[in-house]
Amino acid sequence: MHKVPITMPQLGESIAEATVVRMLYQPGDEVSADAEVLEVETNKATMAVTAPCAGKVESWLAEIGKSYAVGSTLGFILATEAEAKRLGLSSTEPSSFSNYESGKHSAETSSKSIPWNVSPGEVKPTIRGLPVPAQATGASYLSPRMKARMTELGLHAADLAGIAGSGAGGRVTIEDLERFLEDIERNRITPASSMRVAVADAMRRSWTRPLATVVLPVAMDRMLEHRRTLETRPGPTLYALRALAIALGENSAPAGRLVGGRIVHPRSIDIGFAVEAEDGVLVPVIRNADQSRLEELAPRYERLVELARQRRLPPGETGGSIATITNYGVFGLTLATPIPLPEQTILLGMGAGQVVPRWNKQKAIFEPVTEAAFTLSFDHRVLDGGAAGRLLARVAELLNNPEVL
């Protein structure tokens, strides 16, 4: 008889774990291949875990009411010789489950180990507990020795993305790393500035979250007309900043941060804006941006832009913002998907304005309008597409009523 593990399957693209709610078979019960043996619950639905083969339920490691990561071993089935032969298991080969039999393995810790495939000798490397097909590009498992060497060199896992691993399942070995380092020494190398390293670290931390972006074309003509009537002539970025500040002042929930199982709401509407500086980007902040009119914000905005370009921003004028504005349209870009800062949930982006035809229902003709694509990038753990779309639509509405800004 062969012990075949019943593992927690990948139940959806964004689902990392599920809670066992019901066991449909008990130890000793006969099951057929693909029979539903467990019911598990995710934050979206109740789903079934099926038997990998026909046989007899040998034991359960899982417990009702507990959550287990994808890839965790939940129990075992004793497969018949005929079923084992069908699966390719050989009775002459040593058991791959000695750790389980010795009592050193449990369902709660199995996600930290390498989950087993039913084919002998094959394993699926894991990244943070989630199974990744061995043939997938970039799949890797970092051994303690590899992690120690990377720490010594000041490297992160992202730095290994360009290395083709020669180990099992595409694993990057110490030898692969050393060869990679020897090879890059043959190239021209310049030191990264402290600002570039800081930006890289912030983006690396930001990318650990599930990020998404929604897009909305916004007519800019009324805003541009209003701008011509003001002596201060604030730029489109400041208009967008003020519109976002008003929208968040009305409902600050979209700017909340998820920490553990709680949403942390902002104490004040402090909005940052991206300014390109030498070898990086600085983000000065306008505090309480919802409490001052556009004309009052203009001199503060211009002063902060100049200080940022000189890299002379005082500590109180940066950090602690709840959202950021970036105008990538100044580079001629019409659309982009910028990444929010690690401590922020949302980032509003502006594309370059373009003259496009728009249908006028009243006149029944096409009219030329200046239109720009606005993007809202957001942490999908906190916001869904609908809430992000409503916030972006409110910003567009305010920009088309610039007198309220």
Instruction: Report mean pLDDT in 10-residue bins for the chain, 405 residues.
Output: 85 72 92 90 73 90 88 89 73 42 39 34 35 37 79 82 71 84 86 80 87 96 94 93 97 90 91 87 93 94 92 84 95 94 94 94 93 96 94 97 95
User: Is there a single domain that holds both residue 167 and residue 288?
Assistant: no
Residue whose tokens read 């084992």: 84
Q: How many CB atoms lie within 10 A of CB 141?
A: 19
Query: Burial code of 86-110, b = ≥16 C-beta within 10 A, e = fewer?
Result: ebebeeeeeebbeebeeeebebeeb
The whole-angstrom separation of Cα 350 and Cα 344 is 18
* CB of 83 closer than 8 Å to CB of 53: yes
Q: Decide if 138 is inside a domain.
A: no
Strand partners, 127: 130
Residue 162: the pLDDT is 72
Do residues 21 and 49 make contact, with C-beta atoms less than 8 angstroms apart?
Answer: no
Q: How far is residue 191's CA from residue 256's CA, in Å, rounded to a whole number? A: 37
Residues 347 and 225 in one domain: yes
CA distance 220 to 372: 7
For residue 343, give the CATH number of its domain.
Answer: 3.30.559.10
Q: Say if residues 268 and 250 touch (Cβ distance below 8 Å).
A: no
In a domain, 202, yes or no: no
pTM above 0.95, yes or no: no
Check whether residue 158 and residue 43 sit in a common domain.
no
Per-residue pLDDT, 95: 41
Q: Which domain does 263 fall in, by range?
A: 207-404
156: CATH = 4.10.320
pLDDT of residue 154: 82
Domain total of the chain: 3
In angstroms, the CA 242 to CA 297 distance is: 9
Residue 106: predicted pLDDT: 41
Predicted local distance difference test score (pLDDT) of residue 377 = 96
Cα separation, 88 vs 97, in Å, equals 16
